[in-house]
Amino acid sequence: MSADFAENEDHSEDTPADRRRRKVRDAIIDAAETIFTSEGEEGISMRRLAEAIDYSPAAIYKYFASKDELFVAIREMFFQRLMDRINQAMDEGGKVAPLCARCMRAYIETGMEEPNHYMMAFSPSTSAKPHMHEEKEVGFQAESALVSMIQQGQAEGVFRQVDPRVASKSVWASLHGLTMLIVCIEDFPNGMPGSEHVTRDDVIDLHTDLIMRGLMS
C-alpha cells in the first residue's frame, strides 16, 4: 500500500520498530519517485535507490521484493494524486458545467505534469494485477464523482438525459485518449506540417468544449 493510502490508516498502536520500518519504506518510495519522475522506469535500480538513502541493496529488498512491487506503490501514489487533483477542482464549486470542465482539465494536466507516471499507470502490468483492487478504489471514486456531476447537471436540466454511467465512461475515454497523445508524442500537437501554430491549450480547450457539448441538453 502506498504512503498516501497509508496516511488514512490508524498508526496509534505502532511500535517504534513499526514506525522505523514505515519511515524507511517511505524514504525508499520518495527516492524512487524522484528518479522515476525524471528518468522513468529505466532509471530505477535497487542499487541506485540504496545509494540515494544510504542503505544497502539487501536492505531495500526487505521492503520491496522486486522493482515490480516498488512500481505498484508508485502507481498507487499517482492514482491518489490524480484523485486529489480532481477533488481540488471540485472543491472550487460553482455551476455544474464549468465545474465539470474544470475537472476534465485537471485530469489532463495531471497526466501532462507526470507523463512517466501516467504512462506506467495505464500500461498492462502483470505485477500490478494482485493490487488492482486498490487502484480500482481510486477509479471508482473518480467515476462516482463524475457520475454525480452528470446527474446534477441532468437534474438541473443542463445535461441531456442519458445513462450517467455510460456518459462517464465516454468522457473518461475521451480524456484518456487526449492525455495519452500528449504524454506519448513529444511534439503533439504542433509537430505536423501546418500545425505549428497549434498549442496544447488550444487542443485541450476545444476538446473539453466538445465533450461538454456532447453532454449538454
| CATH for 210 | 1.10.357.10
Q: Are residues 134 and 89 in the same domain?
A: yes
Domain extent at residue 55: 1-65
Q: Quick one: 115 and 194 in the same domain?
A: yes
Report the predicted TM-score, pTM, of the whole model to 2 decimal places: 0.80
Sign of the four-CA dihedral 201, 206, 207, 212: positive
Residues 59 and 77 in one domain: no
User: Computed over its alpha carbons, how large is the radius of gyration of the chain?
Assistant: 20
- In the three-class reduction of DSSP (H, G, I as helix; E, B as strand; rest coil), residue 159 is classed as strand
- Do residues 17 and 92 share a domain? no
pLDDT 10s per residue in the chain (217 long)? 334 444 455 556 678 877 888 898 889 999 988 888 888 888 888 889 988 889 888 889 989 988 888 888 888 889 989 999 999 999 998 999 999 999 999 999 999 999 999 998 887 654 545 445 555 666 678 888 899 999 999 999 999 999 999 999 999 999 999 999 999 999 999 999 999 999 999 999 999 999 999 999 9
- The string of DSSP letters for 2-69 reads -HHHHTTS--TT--HHHHHHHHHHHHHHHHHHHHHHHH-GGG--HHHHHHHHT--HHHHHHH-SSHHH
Measured from the Cβ of residue 71, the count of other Cβ atoms closer than 10 Å reads 21
| Last residue within a domain, chosen from 12, 45, 65 | 65
| Residue owning grid cell 446534477 | 152
CATH at residue 42: 1.10.10
